[in-house]
A = this chain, B = another copy of it.
Amino acid sequence: MRVVITGAAGFVGRKLASALAKAGRLDGAKITELALFDVVEPPKPEGAVRITTQVGNIAARPDVDALIGSGTGAVFHLAAIVSGQAEAEFDTGMAINLDGTRWVLEACRKLPKPIKVVFTSSVAVYGGDIPTPIKDDINLLPQTSYGTQKAIGELLVNDFSRKGFLDGRSLRLPTVVVRAGKPNRAASTWASSIIREPLQQAETVCPVSKSVRMWCASPRTVVQSLIHAYELPAKAYGDNRGLMLPGFVVSVAEMMESLRRVAGRKVAARVKFKKDPVIAAIVDRWHADFAPKRALKMGFKQDKSMDDIVRWFIEDDLAPEHRAALG
């Protein structure tokens, strides 16, 4: 089976590509080609699977048509620009996040048989004055352009699935922590920075207060969820292919305590607090309390401990020189 990943140079995309290359199989089928697409050259993961890469623009329909040609058996559509950038550059967000998703679905529609498509939506689809904890059947009132574009993507995935053009699944990802790499333009980027940067022996500034609570999930669990979402039969989704993924609630204070327990007081002291009113205003409107009943019933896993997540980052993503510095 030919498996396509869009956004394969991104953090979650790279983790997913690695997991699939290592497994060599997906839903019982042998992976004959792992086709990695992004706006920059995606890194090739290790494994016995044949890897191809394509650099292109997801908003350009010919690029997407060239990617999802005949022979494609599975698509993981992760390509997107993040919340902060989509808010600052409205047209770019519409092109990449809305048109890009539409072209992916349209390209899949042209395939001879409907294939499974996993689309990464986001908790940014939730917003407005809604009761908490947020339940599965809540109305979506996104308060960012990013959230709006993701909610539209979900509607399209539902309709393309209902029409039998493809067999889609949309996962509303919690904030993924700890992300490797550099800070990005997501309004939540600090949630990874306050763990990653001190472990990389750098100081960092947390722009929100210690009492801020976030709905998070670890990279390990998110990758596992993407594969589980793919493997579930269509009927498990019922009326709605859009699904709130399980996450866990953690406050900034609790993140700091975990960092201190796992890596020591000296490391945790590298985080300074200085409120950024712009970031704080966005984050203040985010919800942290969710009741992901449907996903838990469908067998999706939930992270249990922030300490584990700090440890997994050290194991999976921290460079050897920084790991050595931890002693």
Bound complex: CA A159 to CA B144 (Å): 7
Which single member of B130, B151, B163, B240 contacts A137 (CB below 8 Å)? B130
Which single member of B127, B139, B145, B163 contacts A90 (CB below 8 Å)? B163
The reply to whether A140 and B140 form a contact with Cβ atoms under 8 Å apart is: yes
Q: Which residue of B lies closest to A140 (CB)?
A: B139
CB distance from A151 to the nearest CB of B (A): 6
Q: Is A141 an interface residue (CB 8 A)?
A: yes
Q: Is A128 an interface residue (CB 8 A)?
A: yes
Q: Is A320 an interface residue (CB 8 A)?
A: no
Bound complex: CA A11 to CA B259 (Å): 65
The reply to whether B139 and A139 form a contact with Cβ atoms under 8 Å apart is: yes
The reply to whether A240 and B155 form a contact with Cβ atoms under 8 Å apart is: no
Q: Is A142 an interface residue (CB 8 A)?
A: yes
Query: Which B residues are CB-close (under 8 A) to A139?
Result: 137-140, 240
Q: Is A158 an interface residue (CB 8 A)?
A: yes
The reply to whether A238 and B129 form a contact with Cβ atoms under 8 Å apart is: yes
Bound complex: CA A208 to CA B325 (Å): 75
Q: Which residue of B lies closest to A239 (CB)?
A: B128
Chain A interface bracket (under 10, 10 to 19, 20 to 34, 35 or more): 20 to 34
Query: Which B residues are CB-close (under 8 A) to A156?
Result: 148, 152
Query: Which B residues are CB-close (under 8 A) to A162?
Result: 143
The reply to whether A158 and B148 form a contact with Cβ atoms under 8 Å apart is: yes
Among A128, A141, A155: residue with most chain B CB under 10 A: A155
Which single member of B90, B138, B142 contacts A155 (CB below 8 Å)? B142
CB distance from A23 to the nearest CB of B (A): 33
Q: Which residue of B lies closest to A130 (CB)?
A: B137
Bound complex: CA A275 to CA B178 (Å): 59
Q: Which residue of B lies closest to A131 (CB)?
A: B137
Q: Which residue of B lies closest to A87 (CB)?
A: B163
A204-253 interface (Cβ within 8 A of B): 238-240
A–B complex contacts, Cβ < 8 Å, 29 sampled: A127-B239, A128-B239, A128-B240, A129-B238, A129-B239, A130-B137, A137-B138, A137-B139, A138-B139, A139-B139, A139-B140, A139-B240, A140-B140, A140-B155, A141-B158, A141-B239, A142-B155, A142-B158, A142-B159, A143-B162, A143-B239, A145-B159, A145-B163, A148-B155, A148-B156, A152-B152, A152-B155, A152-B156, A155-B155
Leading 5 A-B pairs by shortest Cβ distance:
A128-B239, A148-B159, A139-B139, A152-B152, A137-B139
Given contacts A139-B140, A139-B240, 19 further A-B contacts (CB under 8 A): A127-B239, A128-B239, A129-B238, A129-B239, A137-B139, A138-B139, A141-B158, A141-B240, A142-B155, A143-B162, A143-B239, A145-B159, A148-B155, A148-B156, A148-B158, A148-B159, A151-B155, A152-B152, A152-B155
